[in-house]
Amino acid sequence: MQQLSKNFKDKKVVYINKEHKDFDFLYDDNSLNDYLEAQIKLGKKYIFIDEVQLIINWEKTINSVFSKYREIEIFLTGSNSKMLSSELSTLLSGRYIDFYIYPFSYKEYIDFNKLKNNFNSFKGYLDKGGLSLVYELDNDELICEWVKNLKNTVFLKDIVSRYKIKDISLLEDLFLFIVNNIGNLTNLNSILKYLKGKQIKTNLNTISSYIGYLKDAFLVYEVALYDLRGKQVFDRERKFYISDHIFRKCLFSGFDKGFGKILENIVFLEAKRKGYEVYVGRVKNKEVDFILEKGGIKKYIQVAYILSDDNVINREFGNLDLIKDNWEKYVVTMDEISFGIRNGVKHIFIKDLENII
């Protein structure tokens, strides 16, 4: 946001970053209103506020300023999904455009680092993820230390303090469970059983609430299961994905990193960037990794690390063969040789994912 504000060279810019102590005096709508009114009288026309959700009732002032000064342009950022609540939508209805900013996609990664689109570049993205500050660090130890500190900061600032969380260790265990199980179908009862197996006392309501907090902080995403034959969504079973696969690299507790699951996470985030509704599919008791829907169009995607043998090939292509419609169907992998098109199902290199989504 600060970099964006520097593009306005006529010095008619107000820049506020609520993470800086310099702006501690802006704590509610009244103090914000007084400050902005004074700046507007000085001729400021562009208002930039980072982490605006840290100002109590900030939306009242923004609505007031926008109503009084139609020539003023306002840019806001926040790191909590409550900014997109129905209450806010009602208050600012028709007066704003919202953008969700994700970590870098693979294309953004190669553009930022001035790399060519090839398998080596994608392996670099697989290793370093989409958080650009990581690219300044030169070894895995520093990268993972930074990632863990980021996770702790989000926990404390956006979850623990906001929701008055008492059991921080439960929140940590729940997040680590999701990191270790991205792309696996699960349900609240299974998570409860796992936590109880670790001698952690909790209940379904608490688990559901804590998952909601992780979602609100944009750390995790939940994807519902859709039955293609019955044409219905099952609320109980779901998959989880995380905001960036670098968390998997640094927080995964097993021996096998599960690159296929990391690729799934990458495909999921790319679909969300492009505005798709995303579901997990089921057809004749077989799983389809992703059903993407947007504007009346559907796409089906299977994801695998590599098509290592005939069994894997038959499974990935075969599950899509069971879907009897004419929408596009793809198998996406890290393979460096093409498997072409089989019964209308097309093989795609993961590095070329943007071409199909």
Condensed to tens digits (0 to 9), the pLDDT of residues 296-314 reads: 999 999 999 999 999 999 9
- Domain boundaries along the sequence of the chain: 2-91, 258-357
Alpha-carbon distance values, 145 to 106, 134, 142, 247, 249 (Å) = 23, 10, 5, 11, 12
CA distance 199 to 295: 47
Residue 153 has pLDDT above 90, yes or no: no
Annotation: CATH topology of 258-357: Trna Endonuclease; Chain: A, domain 1 (3.40.1350)
319 alpha-carbon distance from chain centroid: 27
Query: Given pLDDT bands bounded at 50, 70 and 90, which one contains residue 147?
Result: very high
Residue where the block lists tokens 């069994």 = 311
pLDDT given at position 230? 86
pLDDT given at position 137? 94
Alpha-carbon distance values, 271 to 101, 196, 290, 327 (Å) = 13, 34, 9, 16
Residue 95 has pLDDT above 90, yes or no: no
Residue 212 exposed, middle or buried by CB count within 10 Å (0-12, 13-18, 19+): middle
Residue 352 has pLDDT above 70, yes or no: yes
The percent of residues in the chain predicted with pLDDT above 70, rounded, is 91
- Give the mean pLDDT of 115-144: 95
Residue 255 has pLDDT above 70, yes or no: no
Condensed to tens digits (0 to 9), the pLDDT of residues 17-38 reads: 998 999 999 999 999 999 999 9
Residue 4 has pLDDT above 70, yes or no: no
Residue 254 exposed, middle or buried by CB count within 10 Å (0-12, 13-18, 19+): exposed
Structure tokens at 228: 């293609």
Residue 188 has pLDDT above 60, yes or no: yes
pLDDT given at position 84? 56
Non-local CB neighbours of 134 within 8 Å, separated by 6+ positions: 128, 143, 146, 147, 246
Q: Which amino acid is it at 263? A: L
Residue where the block lists tokens 């946001």 = 1
User: Of 87 and 72, which is predicted with more confidence?
Assistant: 72
Question: CA nearest 331: which of 182, 340, 322?
Answer: 340
pTM, rounded to two decimals: 0.87
Neighbours of 130 (CB within 10 A): 21
What are the residues facing 312 on neighbouring strands?
none
